[in-house]
Chain A
């Protein structure tokens, strides 16, 4: 049994050495920050491109009802509206520059005032089914919104909305919390995994295996080293979320705490994978490969409970889901799974211990199998 001071010294030495080594591999550090930010950019582009179907409105009537209908369309979140004359609109539609042309007929106001049926023609460039469906849904929504505002007495069904939260969040701010978790995952796995796999690739593992130090002290030192280095890219991602996306955390100290705990989980996983895989190229490929499905699986776009049962079951096998739940609470006060905060935190602690245990076994087994 080693004296506590000796153990602490080994932990400190391994941490210090791994930090120095990691700082010589700046490409890994850059990767840790750019990969999650890339996801954010990718998803933002996806949102931007998906929400703006270029649509022309041919206003053959400019009366107040027609104006209100145009207004209802503009708040449907799916159109990028332009008012045009019919020939220009048709020309652009045929040229593939418009998704739809909506024609408000000359008798629109008169017909509405008489409670008569009105035919609003919608010409659609239906080469993309997704966009076509968007336009169809948005048109129905526009009609409903128009009637609810312009002729409320005719609409007898009135939704009584009761919100679970005082304020709601937009798609990108909701998603950005998951981006932070993915950055924690990538930073933890890459930093710790590379540090462990490098020992094997460069045969320096022999220096560690031949040392009269406990395996767990060496691994804890390596984990702390990766944790410290991993904080830098995570800080970059956090800064992007706060200052660029404008996502201010509701509970900042909790964001720090949850981020540290999440980073620790993935650092432990990284050490385990590095010790088991022993090659940096495999580890990098695996980390990149894992981050994409886990990103989409683990409740990125909404609470996991909104997903199918199979997706929920798979997502619960990975710590990403629990980390997203905790970060959503820390950032916005949202509760996105049925477990409480403490059980979610305990699950993450359990994952950490499990990974450390597996990493210790991997290193011990390596000693035997060498």
Chain B
């Protein structure tokens, strides 16, 4: 995506967004509702036309080569877009015909997909009898049926229970192992952390940061290290001089050290504190993506 913009009247849903998703990775678009995630992937699939900018999928311009792009894409929309009055089998059968799955392979592939999403025993049941998680699994299976190169999922675990969410995460990780490229949008931090190789953080249609979750934490996160000493520590001044230490607070025998931006500080901090006396306890609280989001936007993702 190069300098992508989408305006709805005066609203800038996507504002000069440039991104590159590498083959074989799970890439996440993270942002609150209304941040432009769905609009971005709608433009990627050709469902929406950009106001300006370009989108290329595996070398094809989405606007000029829409049909080729749609062949390469597997889509799991937020609403699942399943025909609820039809059976799981009928949904997959229709998709196979629509996406040109070879006739001789159709039945085998449908069975394989139903097995993958663990719905083979419910193949003849109407989708409107399925739970939210089952529908979501079927939608993912359907998107995989024509063997797409790039799978995009819009809020793949929205409204599903914890168990179903884990199952969906498992499928997505399996896809990565199979070399598929996955692009997903989410506003669940745990999901982004658990799945994504790289993350783009969006807010108000603008790209705030893009990197691996670990690197984002390293760059923008504030790690809190709590050390409990056996005697009152006198190393506070020395600790504050260490590059990367943002704040040091002492409460009784406990030292609360907030670090920022750099990794590998922990051994050095332990050395400094233990010189003044033995350590009783060490607690490290990793920065969360919410912390990062808070830092980048000034608001919590949950807001």
Contacts and interface: CB of A to CB of B under 8 A. Distances in A.
B71 A212 contact: yes
Interface string A357-370: 00000000001101
Contacts of A6: 100
Contact of B73 (A205, A210, A370): A210
A20 B71 CA distance: 26
Contacts of A334: none
B47 A206 contact: yes
Which range contains the number of A residues in contact with the other chain? 20 to 34
B29 interface: no
B166 interface: no
Contacts of A13: 93-94, 97-98
A47 interface: no
Interface string A199-214: 0001111111111110
B70 A207 contact: no
Interface residues of B, number: 29
Interface string B57-85: 00000000001101101010101111111
Nearest to A207: B81
B132 interface: no
A13 B49 CA distance: 28
A152 B153 CA distance: 92
B45 interface: yes
A317 B49 CA distance: 36
Nearest to A367: B47
Contacts of A20: 85-86, 90
B94 A17 contact: yes
B42 to A, nearest CB: 7
B57 to A, nearest CB: 12
Contact of B70 (A17, A24, A202, A211): A211
A10 B85 contact: no
A360 B71 CA distance: 21
Contacts of B67: 2, 212
B78 to A, nearest CB: 8
Given A17-B86, A20-B90, A21-B86, A203 B48 contact: no
A126 to B, nearest CB: 58
Nearest to B72: A212
B97 A206 contact: no
A207 B98 contact: yes
B46 A206 contact: no
Contacts of A370: 42, 47-48
Contacts of A318: none
B97 A212 contact: no
Chain A interface secondary structure, helix, strand, loop or mixed?
Answer: helix
B98 A208 contact: yes
A13 B103 CA distance: 12
A12 B97 contact: yes
Contacts of A12: 97
A205 B83 CA distance: 10
A90 interface: no
Nearest to B39: A370
Nearest to B94: A17
A136 interface: no
Nearest to B84: A202
B149 to A, nearest CB: 13
A209 B67 CA distance: 10
Contacts of A2: 67
B81 A211 contact: no
Nearest to A12: B97
A9 interface: yes
Nearest to A218: B98
Nearest to B90: A20
Contacts of A211: 70, 98-99
Given A21-B85, A370-B47, A212 B94 contact: no
Contacts of A203: 77, 79-81
B70 A210 contact: yes
A17 B81 contact: no
**Residue among A21, A204, A213, A370 with the most chain B CB within 10 A?**
A204
B37 to A, nearest CB: 15
A347 to B, nearest CB: 34
A212 B46 contact: no
Nearest to A214: B67
Contacts of A213: 98-99
A204 B83 contact: yes
Contacts of B81: 202-207
B254 interface: no
Contacts of A202: 79, 81, 83-84
B45 A210 contact: yes
**Residue among B42, B67, B95, B100 with the most chain A CB within 10 A?**
B100
A21 B99 contact: no
Interface in B12-64: 42, 45-49
A6 B83 CA distance: 22
**Residue among A14, A20, A210, A367 with the most chain B CB within 10 A?**
A210
B39 to A, nearest CB: 10
Interface in A206-252: 206-213
A212 B86 contact: no
Nearest to B100: A6
19 contacts: A13-B94, A16-B94, A17-B90, A21-B86, A24-B85, A24-B86, A25-B85, A203-B77, A205-B81, A206-B75, A206-B77, A207-B95, A210-B70, A210-B73, A212-B68, A212-B99, A212-B100, A368-B48, A368-B49
Given A13-B97, A202-B83, A210-B75, 18 more contacts: A9-B100, A10-B98, A14-B98, A17-B86, A17-B94, A21-B83, A24-B85, A203-B79, A203-B81, A206-B47, A206-B79, A207-B81, A207-B83, A208-B98, A210-B46, A367-B46, A368-B49, A370-B48
